[in-house]
Every structure is written in structure tokens, then in C-alpha cells.
Structure 1
Amino acid sequence: MSSELSMTEKMLPASSFTSTSIRPSYYIREPNFGKYDNIEDIAVVWLDSHSNVSLDCFDMKIRLRYLINHLLTFHSISTCLEYMNSDIEYEKVFFIVSGSDSEIILPEIHLSPKIHFNYIFCNDKEKYENLSQTYSKIRGIFNDKDSLLKKLISDITSCLSNLLPISILSQASVTQKSLRDLSNESARFMWFQMLIEILIKMEHTDEAKSDLIEICRKQYKNDLVQSKRIDEFEKTYTADKAASWYTRDSFVYRLLNKALRTENIDIIYKFRSFIADLHQQLSVLQSTEPISTDEFLYRGQKLPIEELQYLQKNINGYLSMNTFVSFSRSSQAALLFAGKGEDRPQLESVLFQTEVNDGLAIFANIENVSYYKDEGEFLFTIGSVFRIADIEHIGNIIWVITLVIDTNANEDVEKLSKYLKKYYTGECSLLKIAEILFQIGEYDRAEHYCKLCNEQLHVDHQDRCRLNLLFGDIFRAGKGDFQAAEQFYVSALKLAQDSSLRASVLAGLGRLEDETGKYEAALTHLTESFDLNLKEHPNTTNEIVAKIYADIALVYRHKLDFTKSLEYYNQSLEINLQLLPDLHPSLANLYNNIAYLNTVLGKYDEAMKSYEISLKIQLKSLPKTHPDIATVYNNMAILHECNHDSQLAMEMFCKSLELFSAVLPSDHPTIATLYHNIGTSFHEIKNYPKAITHLEKALDLRKKILPLTHLHIAESYESLAYSYYGVYDYQKTLDFCNMALEIDPTRAALHECIGETRSKQHDYDGALVAFRKAIDLCNPLMMKDNRLLARIHFSMAQVLLTQEKLDEALECYKTVSLVPLSYADQDTLAVANMHLADIYTYKKQFRLAIESYKKCLDYNSECVPQVEMYNNLAANYFEVGQEEADEEYYRKALEIRKKILNVFPLDDQDLGITYSIIGTIYYKLNEYDLCLEHKEKARDHLLKNVSMNNDILTNICESIASFYELRGEMEKAIENGELLLKLQMDKFDSENPKNLDILANLCNNLGSLYHQVQNIEKAIECVEQAVTFERIAKISNPELYDNNFEILQSQVITCGNLAALYEEAEATEKQIIMLNRCLEIYSKLVLHSQQKTDLALASMAEIFKMLGGCYSKLDDHHMAFKSYQQALYFFIQLGSNNETMSNEYKENLENAKMKMNNKS
């Protein structure tokens, strides 16, 4: 909004322009720039911000008006710049600018190809002389009107003679119609030539002359000079004066050549009688005044350097003059027009020379009929073709181009040209022009000429039926107005007198019904048309039959019966290959449709071959903006989508949309289809917002032009549902799915989408209901439905897995895993087999798990973690080995683990885990050395990140320590035991008593190892630490530690071990403390079962005996006596019959008593 306001604010009010008969610029700031009415080649633009107040400048403008009709005056630099940047196609701008304004605007426009020359008009020449060195297009700096006008007249005259509409048959494309690539746009050239031929041959009335005068008066309404010449033309023109008027510097030459160069059919049509008159005059002159065949003719002119370079690249190629072009007998006279290279670098001086060949082209000496009688001029008619024999640079001054009159042009084009001329033989009329315009996709112009024809035809003229039929085709194919098209077809059907015309109308009606989804009615009318044509032409090898075969094929395609459709297309192709030239556009259409069907049927290579043939024909036989080329790009895009190249598909769709938009109304169904296709491409590359934007454009258009129950609208709803799913708008997803189902309730994919959406909303039961509906609607006989079935079963399995319904999920995954790869993508199959294997593993069905993991890995999908799959496969082999004690399965597990090491780039954690598992397998295989080797490798890798791998490391270090202990390598056992203890200490949790028990046990084991190497001090240190951990654990949970037999027994062992170590260290007092701690614990054991009580009584008897010995060492015979007394007591409570042990207890007691008495 703000930008529009700012543009409006910058517009000059009407009063700012000079209020005289001089026409100001019609250029205004509107979205459609360039809406001014110049149909000449030349425009003079005047910029002077002070010209309104200068009488001198006003007089200058008046004088310029006599020179050029299209004079635009600007008094604002910004407005002038806007004009220069607008669409002023085909014009050569001669730019006059004041000195002060030139310094501002020239830097902005000097590189523009629209600017032909610049002229600075000022008071102080010296001040602006330096600009000529900076800007090469400056022709001069002028301070007087006469010198400026003289130079301007010279330059414009030269330019007008150089602006020839010529074409070159080459392979390079060009941006201007003055050099057009006919090898690639040969058909456009042929259609244009045919239009000219029709204009020449059609009947001309006084109305034709009136049309010409009317358009000329409108163009030159403010030009007094040309207006007088138009009056003269109206009063005095006759057919024998055509050459005179063409050679005169007048409106005729300027307007006709501009129209011919730009192929402006509307203006050319206005000149129809004049073109015919001039062509006929040349033909008559040629026949009455023969020319010597050994004579040379010359033409001098200036060519833009780009055009000369194209000519140089195409020596032995062909140059076509697409207007009436003059040559001279005198090379010297021609050289005057060529110049001497003074306009470089923009223009080169060129001399064309050609040897006369009177039988191969229509041309004549017009010296006696030309406006300028003394020039010795020869004039060639429109479309004369020359071969470019040679191009030579003479003296670094002029280029001499030798042309040969030759008819051996491009053979393919010539073949097509003959065929087209044969097709359009007969009466030349407006209706025929309209038919040709329709064929080349000029639908608006075709409609225009149909309307002109409608005005001219009598109400009961025999061409009324053909006219209504063409109207119907235009509104159907060109405008997408199906209602209007139907009305015209019905009218044509009523007027059809002969069976041939009736068949054509029925065919058109059938095509319309096909486009509106009335497929059965379409087949009925097309079949009627086919039968009528067979009556008219019993030989089935004819074009009409081939066309109806193609139409029927299209209906079957829309009915999704692709096999039958392909059958009819092949029949049509077979006939057309016998009848048509190799470059005929109909062949391209057939190859295009056959390619599309092969795409749908999954035959992608065959499809691409057909598309390439189609496109090759079209690029040679049709205009580059023809709708059929756009159709092929669209269909190639679909093929690229099938090959999963969404980016290339989108580029093709956009190319197609660009071409269609150039020839179709913005609300045409095809435009809607393109928006839809581009939207689906954005969806494929996961750009869902852009997908939604394009899909909604398609839906809006389809709602305007199609019945609301049309399948294309359902298609739009469905695609929008998928894209809204992509942006997590699940409610809109469900809404669009339901709207699509209202139109077509048989769409299984929509129920699948609902199921996926319900799953995302955690409505798992609702999801399963939708999935089951989708399955019921699928047809297993159709490949696309088999793909869908695989997808649905996979999604169901995922939902069932989430609900932990493993048996049902297992069945769904099994269904997916059995689907052939042609019906499901390998990623889906890989993931299905992965989950299937996981469930088998969970259910301990290890052999089945092995088979599923192997299938999963066979698909080589990036959607499953490869290393994890190999690990799981190896783990299942290991489990089977354990179940069946089968060394073979251990070996297979080992082989896979080694493959993981060799094939995959693993980090230290994965390496450590893998080495550890390999070590375990070697242990199962009784290969202990290899087991130890791999366990140590595992330990070393895992130690690089202890925090992540603590649990695994503790198990590995414990195994390694045990191995070394069994082998008697106590130092290494101690080293790993210390590491093990450190790892456990690192994850110590004072809140978890279980961790304290583990630490106590590790300290005990480590103490035992130190004891075995006679390091009593370290042994005591470790076991003391064990006692400490146990005490802390008891404090944290006293009830548990006072009542659990296993825990009490573990504590007794720890205290006993420490007591034994104290004994070896002769730390008797510490030993007594630990023995008393043992007694304290065992006193709690007597509360448990009898078996546990007997064990406690026996242990207590032994501990009291040990206490007695400790006290004896300390000469505390009293405490020794009491301890031995308690030992004997518990031994007697035990009820043992062992007399030896009984006597020992009694003897210890007596000895202690004796020593106690002796001491007293």
C-alpha cells in the first residue's frame, strides 16, 4: 500500500506538460507499464526540467514533431527513468536531454539496450564535452537547434533503413525478433508465412483500405505532416502505386515494417490489401521486365554488432527477409547507406551482395514505379530466402556479406511447410486466419478474428457451423469457459449439414465432456464421431480416426484405466506415423501422452524416451511459448517426481506454468493444475508453507471453474490435507480429508491420512478405525493400492506397538515384510522388518528375529541404524548359541561382531562395547586368552569417556580381574581391582545402600588379592574400608541391615576377614574388636530359622574360642576364661557329637582357668 501511494505522489499532474498540440507522454505509473500507442519503431524522448518556460525549447519540439510522430516529453527525471525501465519492446529510443539533467540520468540509462543514441542539448557545450568520452552512445553536444535536428534526421533515417525484420536459421537463440532462430522456432516462421500468404490471396474490399487509414489516423493524429500524407493516400492510392508509397518516407513504410518485425498480426491485417497489392505489383513487374541472371545487386546498411556476429556464426545457413526489402544495382550507392564504420562499436557498416537468380524469388526493378525515380532500386517480396555464402571484412571499414538466392532451406521445415500448406488449402478468409491463430495458441487473437468473421458472415452462411465449432474450441481449450464452449458446440451441431462437420462437432463436444468429468457422455459422443468418420472415410488410416483414438484414450486415462488408454494412444500413433511428417506437432502430443501413461504404469525409462522424442519435435515445430511444450514440461516434471527428484520436478512445473500463463487466461483449469503440481513438489521437498500457498491458489481457481463435486476439487482438498499435516495443523488436515471424502468416499488414501492424524493426536483407537477403513477400500489387484496397503499396515503396526499390543503389531509387520519391493519402498520394508525382529527378540523367538534382522539389513536403508541392526543380529545368534549350546551360532555372532569392527566407523564407546561382546563370545568358546585380550581392548576404549561408560567398565574390569586372579597374575588382578573400585567410587550414591554393599564387596575382594601377595597392610586397609561402608549402609537403613540374613552374613564375613588380617598383623586388640562385632551380628541370626541358628551357634562358638586365644595373648586370663566358657556353652547348645572338638573346647577352658588361678 505504501509503495503505491509513493508512486502516486511522484506522478506529474496534467498541467505540468506543455499545453500545445504536441502530445505529451502517455506513460503513467500503472501496473501495466508502456500503455502508450506507438506502433512505430522509433521514439524520441525529450527530458528537460526547464523546457516549459523556454520558448526556444517549445519551438524545438514543434520542429521535432515534423520529424517523428512518437515524441515523448518529460519534465521529471524520476518519471523519465520509470519510462525507460518499462516495457518499451522493439522501439529504438533517441534520447535528447538537457545538460544539467544529463549528469544525473545518463549514469542510470547508458547501458540500456533500449537507448539507441543520446543527444545533449544545452547552452554551454564545453561544460559537457567530457561526457562524450564517458558515454559512447552520445552522438553530440549541441547548443543550436539546426545542428541537433540535422544530426537527428540523419540518424533516424539511417536507423529506419536498418530496422529490417530478418531471420536466421541457426541454433543460437536471440532476444530480438530481428534475429530469430528458425531451426528451433521453424513452425512459428511457417505459420507466419502462411498468414501472409492468406492475406495476399484473400478477397480485398474497400473496407480493407478503410481499416488501414483508420489505424494510421489514430497513430498520427497529432502529426500534421503524416496526416496530410494519409489524406493524400486516401484520395489517390491505387494498387499500381503500392511500390511508390512503400519507398516513400511515410507512415506506410514505418508502420508496416514495425508490424512485420514484431509479427503484430492485428496491424499486419490492417495492411492486408496493401501487402497484396505490392506483392502482385512485384510479380507483374518481374514477369514483364526480365533481369539478367549474371547481374549482382547490393544493399548497404548498418547492423548491430550482435546481429553481425550471428550471421558470422551461420555461414552456409539461411537468412530470411520478412518484409519487402530493397537492393541496388550500384554498389557505390549502397555503400553510402552502409557508411564507413563511424558508428562503432554499436553498429557495423555492412554491404550485402547477391547474384540475381530470376527463377527462385519474386523481386523486380522498381526504378520506374518508386517514389524516388533515379535510384535504380530492386525490391524483393516478403519472405525471400538467401543462403549466407561468405562474410568478409574489407579494409577494416566494411563487412561484405555474400548472399545466394537458394530454396534448399532446412529439409525438415520444408517438409512441414508443404504439409501445412496442403492442410490449409482452399478459400482464404478471416475464418482460416482464426484457425491458424488457434493452432499456434494465439487464443485471444483467434477469438478476435472469429468475432470479425461473425460480423461479416451472413446468418445462413455455410461457414457458420465451422465458426461456432472454432468458437467452441477456443472457449474450451483456450479460455476454459466450458459453459460458453458447450453453447457454441450445441449451436454448431444444429447447423452441421454434412456428416464430416457433424463428426467434428461431436468430437469437440466429447472433448469438452471429458474435461468436465462427464466421461461416459464423452465416450458416447466420441464413438458417434468415430462411426460417422468411418462412413465418410472407410479407410481407417486417416488423421481424423487417429485423432478420435487419441481423444478416447484421454477419456480412459481420466477414468484411470491406463492400460486401455495406452492401447488407444498406440493405435493413434501407428496411424499418424504413416500420415504425418516427422516434425508434426500431433506426433509430439501422442508421444507425450504415451510417456505419461508409461510413467503411471511405472515404466520410467520408456516414459523418458517418449518425452524426449516429443520435446524434440515440439521445439522444432512449434513456437517456444506453445501450450503443448508446456504440457510436456509438466509431464516430465511428474516423471522426475516419480524418480524422487522433486527439485528438478518443481523447475519443470514452473517452466510449464510460465509458458501456459503466456497464452492462457489466469483462471484457466490448466493454470490451476500447474499451481497444484507446483504445490505437490514443494510438499515433496518438505516446504509445506509454499506448498499450501500454491495448493490454495489451485483450489480457488478450481472452485471458480469446476462443479464443486469435481474430482479435481477432491484432489485439491486431499493435497492440502497432506500439507497441513506437514505443518502439524491436524484439525485442518482432518477438515480437508472429510471434505474430499464427501466428494469421493472411496479414497483409501484419505482414510490413511485420517489414521495418521488421529495417531498424532494420540487417538490410537480412532487411528486404527481409519486404517481398517482404508484397508477395506484398497483393491489388491492395483499396484498403487498394494503400495498403499503396505503403508497402512505399517502405520497400524506402529500404533499397535505404541499400545503394546505386540501380537497384533507382529501380524501387521509380517504383512508389510512380505510385500514385494515393487509395491513398497525399501525404507518402509526395512523398518517393518526391524520392528518385527525386535518383537521376536522380546518374545525370545531368536531364530525368527535373526531372519527379520537379515532382511532388514538386505534393504540397506538409511532409515534403520545399521550398526545397531548388526549388533542385534549378533546378539540373537549368541542367544541361540546359549539356548542350544551350539558353537556354530557363537561363531556366527563372532563373525558379525568382527564385521562391525571392520566396516563401520565406530567411536570409542561403540568400539569398547563391541570388543567386550567379542570377548564374551570367546569366553563361551573357551578361548580365554582371546577373551581377555578383547576385554582389555574394550576397557581401554571405554576409559576414554568414563562418565558415559561406567557401568560397562565396572563389569569388564571385574571380569579382567577375575581372569588374572584365576591365572595367578595377582598384580594385574589388583590393578584391575583398584580400577574397578575407583569406577564404583565415581558413581557413589550415599542415598543408595546397595551401592555401599557393592563397594564393601569390592574392598573385600581387593583385600583378599593383597593378602595373597602378602601385602597385609594394604589388605587391612581395604577390608577396613569394607567395614566402614557396611556401617554407613546400616545407618541409612537399620531395619533392613538388622533383619536380613544375607546382609548379616556378609557383614560377619567382612568382620571375620578383618579379624584374621589383624591376627596376622599381631594387632590383637583390633582383632578382639572385630570378633566382638562378629558376635554382635551373630546374636541377631539366632532369631531366624533353625538352619540359620545352628550356623550362628557354630560360628559363635568358634568366635568365642578365637577371643579366648586373643585374651590369652594379652595375659588377660580372666577374659580368656570367660570367652572359652562361652565357646563351650554355644558348642554344647549346638548339640554336636564331635568328641574331639568337645575335648578341645574343654581343654582350652581348663588351661585358661589354671592360668587365671596361677596369676591370682
Structure 2
Amino acid sequence: MASTDNLNQLEPTFMYTQLFKEILLDIEYGDTAIKDLAACCREVFSGNTIELQTINEFGRDYRPQQAIWWYTRECFTYKMLNQALRNMDADIIINMGFFLRDVHQQIQQLHEQQVSSYGGKPFLVYRGQGLMKTDFEKLQEAKSGLMSFNNFLSTSKDKEVSLEFAGRASSKPDMVGIFFIMSIDPCLKSTPFASIKEVSYFKEEDEILFSMHTVFRVNAMKQMDSKNQLYQVELELTSDDDQQLRSLTDRIREEAGGNTGWQRLGKLLLTTGKFDKAEELYNVLLEQTSDENEKAFYYNQLGYVKDDQGDYEKAIWYYEKALEICQKTLPSNHPSLATSYNNIGSVYSKMGEYSKALSFYEKALEIWQKTLPSNHPDLASSYNNKGNVYDNMGEYSKALSYYEKALEIKQKNLPSNHPSLATSYSNIGLVYDNMGEYSKALSSQKKALEIYQKALPSNHPLLATSYNNIGNVHGSMGEYSKALSYYEKALEIRQKTLPSNHPDLAISYNNIGLVYKNMGEYSKALSFYEKAFEIDQKALPSNPPLLATSYNNIGNVHGSMGEYSKALSYYEKALEIKQKTLPSNHPSLATSYNNIGSVYSKMGEYSKALSYYEKALEIWQKTLPSNHPSLAISYNNIGLVYKNMGEYSKALSFYEKALEIWQKTLLSNHPYLATSYNNIGLVYKNMGEYSKALSYYEKALEIRQETLPSNHPDLATSYNNIGFVFENMKDYSKALSYFERALDIKQRALPPTHPSIKNVKESIEILKQEMKKNSG
């Protein structure tokens, strides 16, 4: 069932199960198909003696002309097939492919024999069933819109029997009973249906069975009881469909093309994110073929699988096997060679080997530009990949230019809800996020998510990526609770669909760790970072940049907890990896220099801190736009060192440069602005200009109270700083009040050994002595 504001919209699973059906109807099944299904079912129902007896009977006696008899028998066939079609369980759908085909073909044959008996007149059938309350809400939203049944649909001509089914379902607390009244026009060109009385297991039932993918118009809905648990819903069989979904279906059908049904099935499995099943299928097909071109195709597809599973070294091995065959059998400018170069480049990019990636991408682009029309989708893929490398290399304007070229081609060639368009919007959003243009980034990422939600199954890995990207933007904007919500959605999908050591899981754990760190919940942050670190260690040596990220993140938490030597050790490990794998002016190196500078600053080693901060600034000035937030961080950090060295005018100059950038690029309540106001206040306080200091400190506190949890360490910093100003202004009672608020937060948020707790306690002690002196 499906509905949105567009009444003619159906859910993406309708399209994918329809494509699975088309392919499975086209496949030639061998003699072992029945035995293989029986073996699979024995595993599912092991320990269930009655079902096992029925399965043995099926394996021994099944014939295609008995398909409906077996389908209507209350046993494993009906349960497994419809559940698999509802949940789009590719594994079971494929195992039951021959049975699905036989049931469909028998319905079709009966329909052709019976259609004239209806005399062209509409008639009613009934169905009683229970719906989960969440599904019932979707049905209510679909009123006047379309509703689909992706599975085979059993209906009855007996109204009372169907009403009894609905009534029984309504007695369950989590269900709503639905009594469907369905108007059927036999003249419509729609899904085949047939009276199965003569071929059913239950001959006494007057059942009309519809094949898969019936589409109805939801006409009316009314409550039938006082408890809000039983509803009558009137449906009308229709030949209408979701026009947008139809054009996307046509496109994906074309993309899942192949010489055989099995090849098409493999491509569709990849499209739907069923990588393990695709791998299993391609390995079988590879073993069965002796044709070199087919081998190259299967190696290439296995490369896709390994790439998506995050096993980059195996992906390259498969892609190179495909390339080797293509180089022997094809001319040097054949598009298939370009595909191989492109795929190898894609893996090197993910491994952080950007110059290698670029070299392969350029080989691919050179062939495609010579052999393809200028708006061919493969050119879009090439531009997209080059954009990705430039993005990773920190060359954001080049990246944006290539991503926009790719988008332009896709917009000309693809339906407006094609997942590949979403990928382009997502990539453009990533660049805008890196450039600090957060509103543009959010807009692009939301366009991507909207398309993915329309076009993909609800647990597809690309949806997880989309949630993750939106979380990143909210995190960049300082909206931590929103970021956490999106990161958790991404993690939920990844935990369901990916192997436990997949790099994307590490990315999810890292991102959740970062949010907790920014919210001051350090033990939670460390727990998530360590989960990511565990995965990243296993990924070496195929993905060193991920390990560097993990070292860096764990360093961040130790730094925030005041464990500076531990932080320094992790930051230096991260830097060492980056220096080996990245170009010398990569922005990620600047991040490492900046982090090391930050630790030295906290340890009071100001000349070392300044040296690292200046290295970071030099890289950022070369690679980023002049108002990029990372430059502001750099100016801010250098300002902090000068402040600690007592060079207040220099400090003020750098702090004001930082503030100017943040005011231009961030929301007015962004935590970075609070940091900026706080730092400028600190300089004025050290210069003895207490009223100016107080004004800036209060601006910082206002933002922090608005945006941070009540026990965030940055709030404690604000209270502490305001306390110092009041102490210097001799207003001791106000000073004490602010110091005590600061201490309360720090004791709740930080480990008891954290140096800043000791510092606040000392400040309170000194203040109390001062108050005693004055009262004496």
C-alpha cells in the first residue's frame, strides 16, 4: 500500500517486486529448482514435523499444473511466497521463482478461459484481513489515491466469510480489521485474476485469485464498530498507475538489461542493495560459463559487489581480471575498457589514493569522449567520479564544476525520480558542506533524500548515506540533536544491511561519536569512536584514511577530557598516515596540524602550538574560499595562542577575523559564534576592559543556553568567565554564584580528575578568602 500528497503514487517496492517478477517469469529453471526449494524450506521449518512432511511431498510430487492447488493449501508455499513478496525478500523470491511463475501462468490461463463468462459486467469480490495500525494510517492517507498489493491476492465472492475474517482481526489490540469490498471490471487491461474453485485445495471456497501487482483506487472508507477497530474499505480495480514510478520502472528495466534472465536478475539485485545475493548468483554464473566476454562481465559485477561491501582490495582484483580480458579481446578505445578504468578509479578514490584514481578516471573519460555522444550517461558517471576525487583533494570549485556537468547530463536523460539524480544532488550537497555553505548543502541533500525515498526500498544503503549526509550538515550548523536523529536512522539501516566490519558502519559510529563529543558526553563519544576504530583496524591496509579519522576522533575526546598526552599520541598517529597517503596541501592535513597545535596550546607550549597552527592556516589559505569556516577556526586558534602569550592586540586582530567569517557563514546562534564572542571577551578581560568583556561573555552565554544541553562544558566555561569578570569588578557575590554554576556543570560532565574542575575549585577558594578579608 502507498500514498503521499501525490494520490497516484505507489511505493518503490511495487516497482522492484514487479521487475523481479518479470525477470523470474523469463528465466528457464533447471530440473533441480524444485529440490533446491524443498531443501531451503526444510532449513526454514526444521523441527516442524507437519511442515516437513508437506515439504517432502512437494519435492516428490509437485507439477506446474498443480501450482494453484499447492498455493491454496495452508502450508509453507503460501506463507513463504506472500511474505517474501510483501517484504521484498530477494533470497526467497528467487528460490520460489519457478513456483511464482507457475502460479501466475495458471491464473493467466484460467483468466483467458473465464473472461467471456463475465459478459463484460463489473462484479464485487470481498476480502477480510487485519492491518497493523501504521499500515492502516497509510491506507487512510491513500483515500482517493492508489493502493497496490505486491503479493498474490486472495478474495472471495462470499461476503459473510470475508466479514468474519475482518472481525476476527479487529479483536487483536495492535491490529485494525479491514473488510474490503472490491469492484472488478473484467474489461479493464489489468493484472489477471481467475475463479480457482475447480483447481483449489479447498474446492468448497468460492475464491477469486489475483496475480501479483493489482492496483486499486481507494474510493470510500467507513467505520463499522464503536471501538475504531473495524473498517469497511471500498476499492475499485484500475488500470491507472503511478506515471512517475512507471517511467522510473522503464528506466531501471533498461539498466537491468542483459543477455539472459539471470544476468538481468544480478543487476536488479545490485540496484536493490542485495549485494550478498548478487555475489552468490554471479559466482555461480562465472563457474558455468566458458565465454570470455561473459567472464569479463561477471568479474566486473563481482567487483561492484566487493566495492559496495567495502572490500576494496578484492574489488580491484575483480576489476583488473575484467580489464585483462577486455584488453585481450576488444579494441583499445572500446567503451567496456572505459567502464573497467572507471571502476578501478572509483575504488582507488575510496582508498584515498587520489592520484591513481584520477589517472584511471582520465583514461575512462578519454575513451568515452571519443566514442559516446556528449550527453551519454557514462560521461555523467565519469564527470561525477572526477568531481569526487577533487572533493576529496579539497579542490572544491573543481569538484562542484564536475558534479554540475554530471547533473546536467542526468537531468536530460533520466526520469526526475531516478536514484542517480539523487546521487548528484547529494554530491553537490557534500561540496557545499565542505565549502561552509550550509543552507545550500541542506537543500541539495534534502532533494537527494526525497528522490531516494520515492525510488528505493526503505532499507537501501543509499538511504542510509542520505540520512548520514543530512546529519553532517546539521552537525556543521551546530544542530546536534537533529544531527544525532539522522545519524541514528543511517546506523539502523546499515546495521540491518551491511556486514559488521563494513567501513560505512565505522562512518556511522564516528559521526555519532562526534555529536556526543560536541554535546559534551565524552564517555558515549569514546564508546562510539572505539567501535569505529575496531572496524578501521580490520580495514587496513585497504583504507588508511579511515584509520586516520579514527585516531583523530579518539584524540579529540581525550583532548576534551584533559588527557593531553594521550590526545597528542593519537593525533600524531593520524598525521603520520595522512602524510603518507595525501597530497601535501590536503585540507585533512591542516586538520591534523590544527589538532596537534590545540593540544600544545592546552599544555602551555605556545611556540610549538603557533608553529602547527600556522602550518594549518597556510594549507587552508591555499585550498579554501576566503570565508570558509575552517579559516575562521585557524584564525581563532592563533588568536588564542597570542592571548596566552600576552600579545593582546595580535590576539584581538585574529579573533575579529574569525568572528567576521562566522557572522557571514553561520546561523546567528551557532556554537562557533559563542566561542568567538567568548574569546574576544577573554582578551578584553585580560586588557582590564571589564564592561566590554562582560558584554561579549553574555553574548556567548546566551547562544550556549539556547543551543547546548544544560550540562555542556562550554556553558561552564561561560559561567566561569563571567565569574572572573565580576571578581575583577569586586562584585564577589555575583562572581561566586557564576563559579558555583560552572563547578556544578563540570562535576556532572567531566571525569573527576579533569584539570578544569581543580581550577574552578581553586577560584572559588581564592574568592571566598577575598570575601572574608573584605567582610573583616
Alpha-carbon distance in structure 2 between the residues aligned to 1:395 and 1:830: 62
1:252-651 correspondence runs (5 A): 252-291=77-116, 292=118, 293-303=120-130, 306=133, 311=139, 314-328=142-156, 331=157, 333-339=158-164, 343=168, 345-346=171-172, 348=177, 350=179, 352-358=181-187, 359-372=189-202, 375=205, 377-391=207-221, 401-455=233-287, 457-460=288-291, 462-477=293-308, 479-496=309-326, 497-498=329-330, 499-537=334-372, 539-651=373-485
Distance 1:454 1:854, change over 3 A: same
Alpha-carbon distance in structure 1 between the residues aligned to 2:384 and 2:439: 22
Alpha-carbon distance in structure 1 between the residues aligned to 2:127 and 2:543: 67
Distance 1:238 1:719, change over 3 A: closer
SS at match of 1:386: strand
Match of 1:897 in 2: none
Distance 1:327 1:694, change over 3 A: closer
Alpha-carbon distance in structure 1 between the residues aligned to 2:80 and 2:733: 84
SS at match of 1:388: strand
Alpha-carbon distance in structure 2 between the residues aligned to 1:217 and 1:815: 72
Distance 1:275 1:501, change over 3 A: same
Q: 1:515, CA displacement in angstroms?
A: 0.6
Contact conserved, 1:755 with 1:771, CA < 8 A, in 2? yes
Higher deviation after alignment, 790-799 or 466-475: 790-799
Alpha-carbon distance in structure 1 between the residues aligned to 2:388 and 2:395: 10
Q: 1:474, CA displacement in angstroms?
A: 0.9
Match of 2:13 among 174, 184, 188: 188
Match of 1:795 among 613, 630, 640: 640
SS at match of 2:115: coil
Q: 1:545, CA displacement in angstroms?
A: 1.0
SS at match of 2:128: strand
Contact conserved, 2:191 with 2:212, CA < 8 A, in 1? no
Alpha-carbon distance in structure 2 between the residues aligned to 1:520 and 1:950: 69
SS at match of 1:387: strand
SS at match of 1:403: strand
Alpha-carbon distance in structure 2 between the residues aligned to 1:208 and 1:452: 14
Task: Give yes or no for the alignment of 1:822 onto 2:650.
Answer: no
Match of 1:728 in 2: 562
SS at match of 1:206: coil
Alpha-carbon distance in structure 2 between the residues aligned to 1:535 and 1:599: 34
Match of 1:757 in 2: 599
Q: 1:421, CA displacement in angstroms?
A: 2.5
Match of 1:862 in 2: 700
Q: Deviations over 1:662-685 (max 9, x none)?
A: 211121112112222222222212
Match of 2:753 in 1: none
Amino acid at match of 1:670: D
Amino acid at match of 1:468: Y
Alpha-carbon distance in structure 1 between the residues aligned to 2:543 and 2:60: 63
Match of 1:690 among 524, 538, 547: 524
Distance 1:334 1:213, change over 3 A: farther
Alpha-carbon distance in structure 2 between the residues aligned to 1:218 and 1:725: 52
Distance 1:294 1:542, change over 3 A: same
Q: Deviations over 1:1088-1115 (max 9, x none)?
A: xxxxxxxxxxxxxxxxxxxxxxxxxxxx
Amino acid at match of 2:381: K
Distance 1:647 1:386, change over 3 A: closer
Q: 1:860, CA displacement in angstroms?
A: 7.5
Amino acid at match of 1:473: Y
Match of 2:534 in 1: 700
Q: 1:482, CA displacement in angstroms?
A: 1.2
Amino acid at match of 2:359: T
Distance 1:469 1:672, change over 3 A: same
Distance 1:828 1:532, change over 3 A: same
Alpha-carbon distance in structure 1 between the residues aligned to 2:225 and 2:521: 62
Alpha-carbon distance in structure 1 between the residues aligned to 2:490 and 2:425: 17
Contact conserved, 1:673 with 1:698, CA < 8 A, in 2? yes
Contact conserved, 2:418 with 2:455, CA < 8 A, in 1? yes
1:176-215 correspondence runs (5 A): 186-215=11-40
Distance 1:349 1:709, change over 3 A: closer
Contact conserved, 2:400 with 2:428, CA < 8 A, in 1? yes
RMSD: 3.9
Alpha-carbon distance in structure 2 between the residues aligned to 1:546 and 1:285: 48
SS at match of 2:297: helix
| % identical equivalent positions | 26
Q: Deviations over 1:289-312 (max 9, x none)?
A: 433221414234343584667645
Contact conserved, 2:610 with 2:638, CA < 8 A, in 1? no
Alpha-carbon distance in structure 2 between the residues aligned to 1:695 and 1:754: 19
1:974-1053 correspondence runs (5 A): none
- Structure 1: gaps spanning 5 or more residues: 1-167, 173-180, 802-807, 842-848, 865-903, 913-946, 952-985, 988-1160
Q: 1:705, CA displacement in angstroms?
A: 0.7
Q: 1:439, CA displacement in angstroms?
A: 1.4
Q: 1:559, CA displacement in angstroms?
A: 0.8
1:888-927 correspondence runs (5 A): none
Q: Deviations over 1:819-865 (max 9, x none)?
A: 66116865566566556667877xxxxxxx8xx9879968974379x
Higher deviation after alignment, 294-303 or 708-717: 708-717
Higher deviation after alignment, 263-272 or 345-354: 345-354
SS at match of 1:290: helix
Alpha-carbon distance in structure 1 between the residues aligned to 2:607 and 2:431: 39
Q: 1:542, CA displacement in angstroms?
A: 1.8
Alpha-carbon distance in structure 1 between the residues aligned to 2:544 and 2:45: 53
TM-score between both structures, scaled by the size of structure 1:
0.54
Amino acid at match of 2:299: N
SS at match of 2:621: coil
Q: 1:519, CA displacement in angstroms?
A: 1.0
Amino acid at match of 2:313: Q
1:900-979 correspondence runs (5 A): none
Alpha-carbon distance in structure 2 between the residues aligned to 1:229 and 1:367: 22
Match of 1:779 among 618, 621, 624: 621
Q: 1:399, CA displacement in angstroms?
A: 6.2
Distance 1:772 1:799, change over 3 A: farther
Distance 1:860 1:738, change over 3 A: same
Q: 1:721, CA displacement in angstroms?
A: 2.4
Alpha-carbon distance in structure 2 between the residues aligned to 1:394 and 1:837: 73
Task: Give yes or no for the alignment of 1:170 onto 2:3.
Answer: yes
Task: Give yes or no for the alignment of 1:245 onto 2:70.
Answer: yes
Distance 1:610 1:366, change over 3 A: same
Alpha-carbon distance in structure 1 between the residues aligned to 2:312 and 2:126: 53
1:148-163 correspondence runs (5 A): none
Contact conserved, 1:297 with 1:353, CA < 8 A, in 2? yes
Distance 1:749 1:501, change over 3 A: closer
Matched residue count: 683
Q: 1:171, CA displacement in angstroms?
A: 4.7
- Structure 2: gaps spanning 5 or more residues: 664-671, 703-725, 735-769
Distance 1:949 1:278, change over 3 A: closer
